[in-house]
Amino acid sequence: MARLNSTDNIIRRADALVRSTGTRDPERIAEALGIIVKDVNFEKQKGLYKVILRNRFIFIKSDLSEVMRRIVLLHEIGHDQLHRRLADVFQEFQIFDMRGNVMEYEANLFAAQIALPDEEILNYIRSGYDAAQIAMATASDINLVALKVSELSRRGYSFRDVDHRSDFLK
């Protein structure tokens, strides 16, 4: 899969955003970035990032659970930070289906880096937690945890990879 952004660049940008905003809360990050978040009654789609007349918007399904809302917002913020120049080219992003879609993979990795701090995840792993237990403890999704564990492994941490579905939030 050809990348638009290197994995290391995605991690650096996510970490820099957390440092500059002083938070991992996606609502506060969006506000700090000047992104307007609008709740909409999507039937199936969970979220959409769009630039309209130089204004940045995240449209988010109004009836998502708190956990899913947080993940979707971080994912869409990932599109803002990584793919903004392409927001006028693509009418919408296929949310969370990473199969063959580099932008979705990158936005998910960005979301995982913000939602799941390295040390916190490593501490859970060292304590013997499995991916499902980590997802429950961090109020996240098992597939986002699996993506994070895979990325930590890529960076040289040794532990068994966790299988995950690439279309987990579709």
User: What b/e sequence results for 16-34 when a residue is b if at least 16 CB atoms lie within 10 Å of its CB, and e otherwise?
Assistant: ebbeebeebbbeebbeeee
Please tell me whether residues 53 and 80 are part of one structural domain: yes
| Per-residue pLDDT, 89 | 46
Residue-range definition of the domain harbouring residue 138: 117-155
Same domain flag for 48 and 100 = yes
Judged against a pLDDT cut of 80, whether residue 164 lies above it is answered with no
For residue 166, name the pLDDT band (cuts at 50, 70, 90). Answer: low
> Is the model's pLDDT at 96 over the cut of 90?
no
Number of domains in the chain: 2
Mean pLDDT over 99-115 rounds to 88
Q: Which residues contact 64 (CB under 8 A, 6 or more apart)?
A: 46, 72
- Kindly state the DSSP code that residue 23 receives in the 8-state scheme: -
127 found inside a domain: yes
Q: Which pTM does this prediction carry?
A: 0.85
Lowest model confidence (mean pLDDT) among 85-89, 115-119, 139-143, 164-168: 164-168
The total number of residues written for the chain in this structure: 170
* Cα–Cα dist 37/30, whole Å: 7
CATH number of 109's domain = 1.10.10.2910
Does 25 or 170 have the greater pLDDT score? 25
The whole-angstrom separation of Cα 101 and Cα 117 is 25
* CA-to-CA separations, 98 to 33, 66, 129, in angstroms, rounded: 25, 22, 26
